[in-house]
């Protein structure tokens, strides 16, 4: 079986925490990671505060294959992600020559002044590599296992498309759903026993309400098709037993 590959995400921005901006990047990253067989283990949302960003990035990069950050690489005073990532790695943050050139040419071609604020988007930690931005030119960057990308959803998605082919793929997590007419309080005990006897699986139960009635969706996940089938059979047998006892 392929080695498990994991990822974490740091969403950066006061506007996310205040509710002023609604995040649209977490779900997209989760979908992409699942498609690549990468387990998204944790998502943290932190303010535009250097200490908070440094703490989150250092904690997550130490225990995951990849860390993805979104937000805080624009032209304004509160866009401090590049400085925070540099601080997390203990390296300087300065203008990147190639990023500076790309932005200079981009704004010149549009007849827009390349102001000091716009120049901020060319700053990166020393040793970082570009993540191409096919939409608005200003690149993201990668340093070690940390990928720093824009918060604007369209740009984040485009940057992630650039990055995805370079990532290590893991064994995909297979899943199957089994509908249960019983509430969680009824199936909780036997479901816990099934989980204990099928350790290669992850079993979750999710309450549902539809057409005026409650039911429970039992979802079984595993990287082993054989283990998945065995756990599914056990869940179905448990439900059948409960139905017969009605």
- The pLDDT tens digits for 39-72 are 999 999 999 999 999 999 999 999 999 999 999 9
Higher-scoring residue by pLDDT: 31, 1:
31
pTM over 0.85: yes
| Whether the Cβ atoms of residue 205 and residue 164 lie closer than 8 Å to each other | no
Token representation of residue 116: 């000091």
Token representation of residue 184: 């969680």
Torsion, Cα 198 201 205 210, to 10 degrees, reads: -120
Q: Is the pLDDT of residue 86 over 80?
A: yes
Residue 28 class from Cβ within 10 Å (0-12 exposed, 13-18 middle, 19+ buried)?
Answer: middle
Q: pLDDT at position 2, please? A: 57
- The verdict on 149 and 33 lying in the same domain is yes
Give, in order, the Cα–Cα distances in Å from 243 to each of 176, 236, 237, 239.
Answer: 21, 11, 10, 6
C-alpha–C-alpha distance, residues 12 and 16, integer Å: 8
C-alpha–C-alpha distance, residues 31 and 52, integer Å: 26
- The verdict on 113 and 235 lying in the same domain is no
Question: In which residue are the tokens 């120049």 written?
Answer: 119
Q: pLDDT at position 170, please? A: 87
For the segment 163-180, the average pLDDT, to the nearest whole number, is 93
- The verdict on 135 and 209 lying in the same domain is no
Q: How many domains does the chain have?
A: 2
- The verdict on 35 and 131 lying in the same domain is yes
- The verdict on 95 and 30 lying in the same domain is yes
- The verdict on 114 and 141 lying in the same domain is yes
- What is the maximal distance between C-alpha atoms in the chain? 77
Q: Is the pLDDT of residue 1 over 60?
A: no
Range in 52-56, 113-117, 184-188, 211-215 with the lowest mean pLDDT: 211-215
Give Cβ neighbours of residue 126 (< 8 Å, ≥ 6 apart). 86, 91, 92, 93, 94
Q: How confident is the model over 123-161, as pLDDT tens digits? A: 999 999 999 999 999 999 999 999 999 999 999 999 999
Structural domain for 88, as ranges: 5-166
> How many CB atoms are closer than 10 A to CB 244?
7
- The verdict on 150 and 185 lying in the same domain is no
First to last CA, the chain: 42
* 115: helix, strand or coil: coil
- The verdict on 149 and 202 lying in the same domain is no
Range in 90-94, 134-138, 208-212 with the lowest mean pLDDT: 208-212
- The verdict on 151 and 30 lying in the same domain is yes
C-alpha–C-alpha distance, residues 169 and 105, integer Å: 36
Give, in order, the Cα–Cα distances in Å from 97 to each of 18, 122, 207.
Answer: 35, 8, 54
Token representation of residue 165: 């082919």
| Whether the Cβ atoms of residue 240 and residue 204 lie closer than 8 Å to each other | no
Token representation of residue 215: 């039911």
Q: pLDDT at position 211, please? A: 75
- The verdict on 41 and 99 lying in the same domain is yes
């Amino acid at each position: 079986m392929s080695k498990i590959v994991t990822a974490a995400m740091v969403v950066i921005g006061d506007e996310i925490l205040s509710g002023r901006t609604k995040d649209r990047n977490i779900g997209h990253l989760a979908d992409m990671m699942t498609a690549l067989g990468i387990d998204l283990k944790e998502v943290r949302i932190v303010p535009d505060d250097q200490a908070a960003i440094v703490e989150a990035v250092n904690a997550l990069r130490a225990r995951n294959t990849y860390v993805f950050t979104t937000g805080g690489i624009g032209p304004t005073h509160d866009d401090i992600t590049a400085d925070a990532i540099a601080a997390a790695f203990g390296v300087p943050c300065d203008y990147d020559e190639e990023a500076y050139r790309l932005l200079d040419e981009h704004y010149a071609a549009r007849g827009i002044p390349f102001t000091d604020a716009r120049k901020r988007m060319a700053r990166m930690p020393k040793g970082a590599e570009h993540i191409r931005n096919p939409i608005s030119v200003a690149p993201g960057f990668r340093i070690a296992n940390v990928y720093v990308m824009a918060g604007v959803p369209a740009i984040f998605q485009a940057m992630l498309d650039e990055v995805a082919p370079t990532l290590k793929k893991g064994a995909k997590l297979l899943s199957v759903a089994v509908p249960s007419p019983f509430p969680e309080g009824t199936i909780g005990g036997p479901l816990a026993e099934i989980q204990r006897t099928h350790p290669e699986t992850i079993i979750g139960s999710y309450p549902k309400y539809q057409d005026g009635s409650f039911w429970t969706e039992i979802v079984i996940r595993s990287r082993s098709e054989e283990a998945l089938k065995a756990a599914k059979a056990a869940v179905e047998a448990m439900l059948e037993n409960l139905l017969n006892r009605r």
